[in-house]
Amino acid sequence: MSTEQYLLDTFTFTQQHETRTGQLAEEKLARAIEGLVPQRGQVFNWSASGSVDTTERRFIRLKVDGFMVLQCQRCLQDYEYPVVVDTIFEVVETEDELDEDEDDVEALDRVLASRNLDLFGLIEDEVILALPYIPRHDSCPSLPKALSVEDELVLETEKPNPFAVLGKLKKS
């Protein structure tokens, strides 16, 4: 589905310090909204900018700004969760480099050099990564205090316990 607006040549984009900006409607992010509550026709603003340093390392910085409608797992109300992405990708030349020091949390994210890098896919991936595993209000707007404490306890015990899963496997 990616139109030309989303395709870029990583070499020229970084070499010429280009910037690209756009808006993306929620409904286009099919993978990101899959399984979520109905969205509100909101739009995500995004920008990508390229750079190259004196040692010829190339970078693409991707920013996305918007919100996603999620259902709070505590009070079951829908709420707008801010989605803010600011990620710097290093452009690498080989697949091997992509996987290098994968476990290093300090390492930058990487993308493979390409004449047709698909920004759309990158934006969608980053939006998905920005969503919480268990959506919850910081504090639910309409929940009596006593109930919210109780619910909190339920949520704690509902967390998947790896040993419990093992136990089940052994029994079957």
* Opening angle at CA 149, ends 154 and 153, nearest 5: 20
Stretch of 22-30, 32-40, 61-69, 139-147 lying at the interface with Zn ion (CB under 5 A): 139-147
- Least separation in angstroms between residue 53's CB and Zn ion is 45
Could you tell me which stretch among 14-22, 121-129, 132-140, 148-156 binds Zn ion (CB under 5 A)? 132-140
Give Cβ neighbours of residue 143 (< 8 Å, ≥ 6 apart).
74, 75, 151
In terms of CB distance, is 133 or 163 closer to Zn ion? 133
Residue 75 in the binding site for Zn ion (CB under 5 A):
yes
Task: For residue 151, give every residue at least 6 positions away whose Cβ sits within 8 Å of its Cβ, in sequence order, or none.
Answer: 74, 75, 143
Q: Which of residues 27-66 bind Zn ion (CB under 5 A)?
A: none
**Alpha carbon distance 59, 89 (integer Å):** 6
Nearer to Zn ion, 70 or 91 (CB): 70
C-alpha 120/C-alpha 131 separation (Å) is 17
Q: Does 69 bind Zn ion (CB under 5 A)?
A: no
Residue 58 or 74: the one with the smaller Cβ distance to Zn ion is 74
Count of residues in the chain: 172
Nearest to Zn ion of 12, 139 (CB atom): 139
Q: How many residues at the interface with Zn ion, by CB under 5 A? A: 5
State the Cα–Cα distance between residues 164 and 90, nearest whole angstrom.
40
Write out the residues near Zn ion by the rule CB under 5 A: 72, 74-75, 137, 140
